[in-house]
Amino acid sequence: MTNSGPSYYCPYKGCTKEYTSPYLIYKHSREIHNSELATPTKSTFFKSSSGKVINFKINDRNSLDPGEKILLVQKNDQTYYCPYKGCTKECGSRRTIYNHSRAVHNSELPTSNMSPRPQLFMSSSGKVIDFKSK
């Protein structure tokens, strides 16, 4: 089995298309499903018109009726995401995400009585963690 990177799945019912690039799935969605999907920026995410968040992941498969629109929604800038794999925790403040990260993942983030002003963290593998991306 070859590992060709992450896959993006078409969320429309009955469609089994998958692509290795999000841009191909956006294009597919526009051309085949008439979804009027716009290409996202860093501060936006997708929602179906019924309010479901669409990440084009495997569990989003078969979740949209044909013709249902996918809307591009502005991310609330105050949302912070837990950077740990498999963890979907998101919080409205850095403080909460730090607390979560310490409590659940044993990380050594600042305690909640420290200033929550923006700062950068790095994982031990050298990846910058800004809590702004999943």
Q: Quick one: which segment of 58-66, 68-76, 79-87, 114-122 binds Zn ion (CB under 5 A)?
A: 79-87
Q: Cβ of residue 130: shortest distance to Zn ion, in angstroms?
A: 15
Q: Quick one: which segment of 3-11, 54-62, 73-81, 119-127 binds Zn ion (CB under 5 A)?
A: 3-11
Count of beta carbons in the 10 Å neighbourhood of residue 5 = 8
Q: Quick one: which segment of 1-9, 19-27, 60-68, 78-86 binds Zn ion (CB under 5 A)?
A: 78-86
Query: Is 6 in a helix, a strand, or coil?
Result: coil
Q: State yes or no: residue 129 binds Zn ion (CB under 5 A).
A: no
Q: Are strands 53-54 and 70-74 parallel, antiparallel or unpaired?
A: unpaired
Binding to Zn ion by CB under 5 A, coded x per residue (else -) over 82-101, reads x-x--x-x------------
Looking at the Cβ atoms of 1 and 78, the one nearer to Zn ion is 78
- Tracing tokens 């963890």 back to the chain, one arrives at 87
Q: Cβ of residue 9: shortest distance to Zn ion, in angstroms?
A: 9
Q: Cβ of residue 93: shortest distance to Zn ion, in angstroms?
A: 15
Q: Where are the beta strands (DSSP E) in 12-129?
A: 18-19, 44-48, 53-54, 70-74, 80-81, 90-91, 121-122, 128-129
Query: Is 45 in a helix, a strand, or coil?
Result: strand
95: its two tokens? 């403080």
Which positions touch Zn ion (CB under 5 A)?
10, 12, 15, 17, 82, 84, 87, 89
